[in-house]
Structure 1
C-alpha cells in the first residue's frame, strides 16, 4: 500500500497541531474528540475457517504476536470462540478472533457447522479461510462456499484465502538457511496461488481477491497475507486492523551468520534505492574443497548457495537490515 492508514492518521493529527486557523483551545478540543472517537471504535473481528491442523492459531500468532496455544496432536480449538489479543509488540487495543470448527472433520457435523457459519460470518470484519498450500483437494471448500455465501453475496468481499505451510510444497527443498523457497518451490507456489484463485472464482465469480501462499511457522510472506486482509476489511474499519499488526520477523529464522554477512555487505555495497546487489560467488578453492560434515557451513558457502531471486529478496528491505545492525550493536541479537 502506497501510504498506510497509520500514516494518514498521523498526518491528520499533525495538521491539526500545526494549523494556524485554530486556537489552542480548538486544537485541544479536536484532538480530544478524535481520541474519544478512536476509543469507542470496536476491535476488529477476524473469523478463521479451515480444517483442523491447518495452522489457524499459528497464523494468528505470526500476524499479531497473540500467544495462542498451538495444538499438534489434537485440535486446539473445536468450537467457535472469541479470543481477545491484548496489546503486544507496540500494538494498541484488542483483536477479536473467532476460530470456527474445521470443516471436513465429520460429515455428521457439516450442516450444524453451516448454520453456525451463517450466524457468525456477518459479524466479521474479515473472513480468513486457511488451506494447506500443498493440498489440491478443493471440492469441499467449493461446496461450503456455495452453501454459505451463495445466499450472502454481501460477505464475499470480506473473504481472504491463505494457503499455509508454503515451505512444505514440492519439491520440498526449502532453503532453511535463507528461510526462502527454492526456485522450483517459488514457481510451484505461484502456480498454486493462480490455480486456487481460479477454483474459488468458479463458485464465487464476484470475489476479486487472490489466494496467498505463506508459511506461518516460517514467518514467510506474512505481509502479502495481511495486505489481502486489509483489502477485505470495510474501508472505514481498516485502520483498526492495521493498528493491531505485529508481523513476526522473517529474518529471525534466517541463518545468523548469513544474515550478519548479508547485512554488512548490503550496507557497504548497495547504493540507496538499489535493492539488487551482485550475487556472491564461490572461489575455486571453495568449489574444490570437500565439505566436512562436522564443520559449520561457512558464510561464503551459504551465500553462494542462494539463487539470484533469493539473494535479491533477502536484500530488498534496507530498513530492516539497518534495524538489525542497530540491534546487533546494542547486543540484542546474535
Structure 2
C-alpha cells in the first residue's frame, strides 16, 4: 500500500460526511503525516550533546538558515531520512558565563514556544547546579513539561575505573551513585518527566531513554520523530507508542472538526459516529505513513 492508498483507506469511513467536511478532515490528517518535530538539545560544554545525537539519530544532516537575528546562538539542523525529517536546535548551555547567560535568557524565551521537547544534557560528574536551577525556575517556567533531563557519561561517575567494559554497563557501585545523582536532580528540579541516565559513548541506557522520550513528546510529534532514530532504537514499543499517538492525533482532528461553530448538529453527530472507525483505520495503516 502506498501513502496515497493509505489516505484513500481513511477516506472511506469519511464518505458519509458532506464532501467539504470530509475533505477538511482528510487534509488535516494528511498534515499530521508531514509534521516536522522541533527538538531542542542543551547542555554545558563537554556534556556530550554531539555524542548523544550521533547515538540517537540516522539520516542526512543539513544546516537550516535562520534569518531571525533573535535566534542567534541557536544552531538549527535538519535531520532527514526517507520522506520525513526533524529540526534539531542546538541551544547553548547556561552557567558558564554570566554575561552570556543574560543573552541566552532572551534566546530561550523566544525559542521555547516552538520546541516540542528539550533534551537537557547533564554530565554525570557535574555538581554545579545553582545557575541551572534558577534558569529552570525563571526561564523555562511554564515549559517544564518539555524538558527531559539526560544524565550523560554514566561511565565517568565514580568509581569510574569500575565501568564494566566487557558488557558496557556500570558496576553495582556506579549504579548506586547514579541513582543518587538522579535523585538529586529530581529533588532540585521536580521535573515533569523521568530523569534518564545514559552513556552515549557506550550506548548504555539509550533504549530506556528513548521510551521516556517518546512518552514526553506531543502526540503529533512522536511518529515522525521515531523515523529519524537509528534502527536499533526503533523498537516494537517505540513504534506502538507512536502508532497510539497517531491515533490520538487523528481522533483530535475529528473532535476539532465536530466543534467547528458552523457545523450543523446532524453533521456533528455523523462526525462523532465515524470517529472511532477513522482512528482504527489510521492506526492499522500507520506503517505506510511512517
Give yes or no for TM over 0.5: yes
Gaps (5+ residues) in structure 2? Answer: 16-22, 63-71, 234-290
* Higher-helix-fraction structure: 2
TM-score by length of 2: 0.64
Q: Distance in 1 between matches of 2:221 and 2:28?
A: 15
Contact 2:108 2:139 in 1 (8 A): yes
Q: Any idea what SS the aligned residue of 1:216 has?
A: coil
Contact 1:66 1:85 in 2 (8 A): yes
Match of 2:77 among 69, 72, 83: 83
Q: How far did 1:119 drift?
A: 0.5
Q: Which has the larger radius of gyration?
A: 1
* Higher-strand-fraction structure: 2
Q: State the Cα deviation string for residues 157-187 of structure 1 (Å, max 9, x = none).
A: 1110000000111111111111111111122
Match of 1:115 among 101, 106, 121: 106
Q: How far did 1:66 drift?
A: 5.4
Gaps (5+ residues) in structure 1? Answer: 1-9, 23-28, 70-77, 202-206, 250-334
Q: State the Cα deviation string for residues 239-270 of structure 1 (Å, max 9, x = none).
A: 22223222667xxxxxxxxxxxxxxxxxxxxx
Is residue 2:211 matched to residue 1:222?
no
Q: Distance in 1 between matches of 2:210 and 2:128?
A: 24
Contact 1:163 1:211 in 2 (8 A): yes
Query: Paired residue for 1:260?
Result: none
Q: Distance in 2 between matches of 1:54 and 1:225?
A: 16
Q: Distance in 2 between matches of 1:248 and 1:161?
A: 22
Is residue 2:216 matched to residue 1:232?
yes
Aligned pair count reads 213
Q: Distance in 1 between matches of 2:170 and 2:205?
A: 11
Contact 1:65 1:246 in 2 (8 A): yes
Q: Any idea what SS the aligned residue of 2:227 has?
A: helix
Is residue 2:138 matched to residue 1:147?
yes
Q: How far did 1:136 drift?
A: 2.4
Higher relative contact order (CA 8 A, sep 6+): 2
Contact 1:132 1:163 in 2 (8 A): yes
Match of 1:156 among 141, 144, 163: 144
Is residue 2:195 matched to residue 1:211?
yes
Q: State the Cα deviation string for residues 58-91 of structure 1 (Å, max 9, x = none).
A: 111111135779xxxxxxxx9311101121xxx6
Query: Paired residue for 1:168?
Result: 156
TM-score by length of 1: 0.56
Q: How far did 1:195 drift?
A: 1.9
Is the alpha carbon distance of 1:108 and 1:226 closer, same or farther for their aligned partners in structure 2, counting shifts above 3 Å? same
Match of 1:101 among 92, 95, 105: 92
* Aligned residues: CA RMSD: 3.4
Match of 1:129 among 102, 112, 120: 120
Q: Distance in 1 between matches of 2:61 and 2:28?
A: 32
Is the alpha carbon distance of 1:184 and 1:246 closer, same or farther for their aligned partners in structure 2, counting shifts above 3 Å? same
Query: Paired residue for 1:193?
Result: 182
Q: Distance in 1 between matches of 2:92 and 2:14?
A: 55
Q: Any idea what SS the aligned residue of 2:84 has?
A: coil
Contact 2:52 2:200 in 1 (8 A): yes
Q: Distance in 2 between matches of 1:144 and 1:36?
A: 38
Q: Distance in 2 between matches of 1:20 and 1:139?
A: 55
Query: Paired residue for 2:46?
Result: 53
Q: State the Cα deviation string for residues 3-37 of structure 1 (Å, max 9, x = none).
A: xxxxxxx9xx69x49x9999xxxxxx9xx969843
Is the alpha carbon distance of 1:222 and 1:105 closer, same or farther for their aligned partners in structure 2, counting shifts above 3 Å? same
